């Protein structure tokens, strides 16, 4: 029977914290870039310009049909070469974090795009007609009238997708990047306490994600009351 020994955790906390910083950095950057790019993709899909709509649809369908771990492997192999050639970086430079952020951001943009497209379509068409009657262009109507209302409706879904993204950051192990999960695995493997460290990592993920989901639920209830 396995005898639990948690003594490795206090001494490894600085290393684990560095891993958590990497996980949060990937999460926050991918959320921001994903929402911006996802918004543009959603607008393209709703556009009457067929080439833009086709491109956006192909992009979204491609990334939603491919496993995230495969996308991360693609970018782990492709991004270093691109950065070395475009920025003149020395061959063999450590760009694993840049590769992970790029992969997550572009992958998540496909999911954010569908959330945002649904949010835009949930806004009454009369809003666009009213804005047009006031002399606004299509771009002004979308930016000043439709998108603010759509994003208000979408916030719970956007936050929920962000929680899923944080959980998925553990997949960066494919590039040997020491995120929180990777750091916990390495410490456990080094000290012969892999079970304890993985249980601890799982508990930390649970506390963070459960707390964030409760905040989202509280916000949803407030929206219903309002």
Q: Given this model, what pLDDT does residue 28 score?
A: 94
16, 22, 24, 26: CA torsion to nearest 10: -150
Q: Given this model, what pLDDT does residue 87 score?
A: 53
123, 151 contact by CB (below 8 A): no
139, 173 contact by CB (below 8 A): no
Q: Given this model, what pLDDT does residue 174 score?
A: 76
Q: Which residue has the higher pLDDT, 16 or 94?
A: 16
The tens digit of pLDDT for each residue in 103-138 reads 899 999 999 999 999 988 888 888 878 878 888 877
Between CA 40 and CA 56 the distance in angstroms is: 9
Q: What is the mean pLDDT of residues 29-54?
A: 93
195, 188 contact by CB (below 8 A): yes
Q: What are phi and psi of 3, to 5 degrees?
A: -95, 120
Q: Given this model, what pLDDT does residue 93 score?
A: 52
The tens digit of pLDDT for each residue in 135-161 reads 887 778 888 888 888 888 888 889 999
CA atoms within 13 A on the CB side of 226: 8
Structure token pair of residue 71: 């996308």
Closest C-alpha among 86, 92, 150 to residue 121:
150
Q: Given this model, what pLDDT does residue 89 score?
A: 54
Q: Given this model, what pLDDT does residue 144 score?
A: 82
Q: Given this model, what pLDDT does residue 85 score?
A: 66
Rounded to the nearest integer, the mean pLDDT of the chain is 86
Q: What is the mean pLDDT of residues 171-191?
A: 86
Quick one: CATH architecture of 8-225?
A: Orthogonal Bundle (1.10)
According to the 3-state scheme, what is the secondary structure of 8-74? HHHHHHHHHHHHHHHHHHHHHHHHHHHHHHHHHHHHHHCCCCHHHHHHHHHHHHHHHHCCHHHHHHH
Domain spans, the chain: 8-225
Q: Given this model, what pLDDT does residue 151 score?
A: 86
Q: Given this model, what pLDDT does residue 165 score?
A: 93
Q: Given this model, what pLDDT does residue 150 score?
A: 85
Confidence of residue 77 (pLDDT cuts 50, 70, 90): confident
Contacts of 15 (CB under 8 A, 6+ apart): 178, 183, 186, 187
- pLDDT over threshold 90, residue 41: yes
CA atoms within 13 A on the CB side of 159: 18
């Amino acid at each position: 029977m396995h005898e639990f020994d948690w003594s490795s955790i206090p001494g490894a906390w600085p290393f684990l914290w560095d891993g958590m910083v990497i996980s949060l950095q990937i999460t926050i950057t991918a959320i921001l870039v994903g929402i911006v790019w996802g918004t543009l993709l959603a607008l393209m899909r709703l556009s009457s310009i067929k080439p833009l709509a086709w491109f956006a649809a192909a992009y979204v369908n491609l990334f939603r049909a491919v496993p995230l771990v495969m996308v991360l492997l693609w970018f782990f192999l492709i991004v270093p070469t691109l950065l070395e050639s475009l920025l003149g970086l020395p061959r063999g430079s450590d760009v694993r974090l840049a590769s992970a952020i790029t992969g997550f951001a572009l992958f998540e943009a496909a999911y954010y795009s569908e959330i945002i497209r649904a949010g835009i379509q949930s806004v009454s068409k009369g809003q666009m007609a009213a804005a047009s009657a006031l002399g606004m262009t299509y771009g002004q109507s979308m930016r000043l009238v439709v998108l603010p209302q759509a994003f208000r409706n979408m916030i719970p879904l956007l936050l929920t997708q962000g929680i899923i993204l944080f959980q998925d950051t553990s997949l960066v192990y494919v590039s040997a990047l020491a995120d929180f999960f990777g750091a916990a695995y390495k410490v456990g493997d080094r000290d012969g306490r892999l079970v304890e460290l993985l249980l601890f990592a799982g508990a930390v993920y649970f506390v963070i994600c459960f707390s964030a989901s409760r905040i989202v639920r509280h916000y949803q209830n407030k929206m219903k009351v309002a």
